[in-house]
Chain A
């Protein structure tokens, strides 16, 4: 199974997810079969005045992940992830990266066909 990138507030699989995508603290790149994970810090995107989503999406695409799980993926990041052939699940909150991946593996999460809108909040 392909690797999954989950926006996370810390390198801990059982820590909190980060609802934000572009300005997430980092990403856990998770192998859903072994649940082995690697943490990529996203601090360099967080400090950008603009274009955080673009930079974070490029980083995730380069990690080799083929799916993204997050809370709020905006329009620019969505375009890049789509162009890179990465499927997107968003709208998740109040869970850990491990729980999110378990739901994903059980087929309980749906792929998004549109970016999050501002009114969806964070």
Chain B
């Protein structure tokens, strides 16, 4: 089974939860860090991952000899990566989302495939992560490449714990889709509740079972509890707001291994998630 640990708001504790879940997971599992703009799960899991491969996107380059300046490619492109008008033809590779449509539509064969590096994949036996090239803006293709690599190298019987990027747009969606369970990590504050709602609404159309882990429990107000009970979102764990948790995290230690109490919170969470997935699969 594939478990995505996600959140609308950043800094709610996705990596804390993902590293802890991975450390207590009762079946053979691998962890994947898809927060490719700022991957940090490896700091907790060690040993240092090796660079496995570079990821490229196929983008167009214009052959001015062949181009008839008909403009079909530029009209097709939704991202302004090709500009064609009055005998002027320019491409902007950094704007390209690599849909490949321009290569298909060009009647003159005037677009050549060239490659733009978007990042790299790193890993070891039970861990994979993507690292976006500095200056690159497009993370979803790299996120998808890391997921394909996971399918390729990990035994299909292994469970996957996915550390998703924050937010509710394309990168987060690319990380949580086609998983078996989405665990939303949220703080019980007005800001935390606001972004939890966004994430819940954004991911609901995927039809994947979801649950909530509340981090820094004990601060804030009741709004998030009311929202979850109103929406039938189960609160599956509450991680107390505790200086010791912050200390463990700041030393790169897995919180579930920090104390018996923390370990039991995450063992119970892992069991509840597995039960929910199995129940859903049985339906």
Q: Is B83 an interface residue (CB 8 A)?
A: yes
| Contact call B85/A76, Cβ cutoff below 8 A | no
- With known contacts A79-B90, A80-B90, A83-B90, A51–B95 Cβ distance under 8 A: yes
Residues of A within 8 A of B79 (CB): 50-51
Contact with A along B51-91 (1 / 0, CB 8 A): 00000000000000000000000000001110101101010
Of A11-19, A32-40, A54-62, A92-100, the one touching chain B: A54-62
A76 to B95, CA, bound (A): 10
How far does the Cβ of A20 sit from chain B's closest Cβ, in whole Å?
16
Q: Is B206 an interface residue (CB 8 A)?
A: no
A55 to B80, CA, bound (A): 7
| Contact call B88/A83, Cβ cutoff below 8 A | yes
Q: Is B227 an interface residue (CB 8 A)?
A: no
Q: Is A109 an interface residue (CB 8 A)?
A: no
* Residues in A24-74 with C-beta less than 8 Å from chain B: 48, 50-51, 54-55, 57-58, 61-62
| Contact call B80/A61, Cβ cutoff below 8 A | no
Q: B77: nearest residue on chain A (CB-CB)?
A: A51
| Contact call B80/A54, Cβ cutoff below 8 A | yes
How far does the Cβ of A49 sit from chain B's closest Cβ, in whole Å?
9
Residues of B within 8 A of A84 (CB): 85-86, 88
Q: B81: nearest residue on chain A (CB-CB)?
A: A51
Checking A48, A51, A61, A79 against B85 with a beta-carbon cut-off of 8 angstroms, the contacting residue is A61
* Residues in B90-128 with C-beta less than 8 Å from chain A: 90, 92, 95
Residues of A within 8 A of B83 (CB): 54, 57-58, 80
A residues with CB within 8 A of B: 48, 50-51, 54-55, 57-58, 61-62, 76, 79-80, 83-84
Q: List 9 A-B contacts (CB under 8 A).
A: A50-B80, A51-B81, A51-B95, A54-B83, A54-B92, A54-B95, A61-B86, A62-B85, A76-B92
Which 8 pairs of residues, A with B, have the shortest CB-CB distance?
A: A51-B80, A54-B80, A83-B88, A84-B88, A80-B83, A58-B85, A54-B83, A83-B90
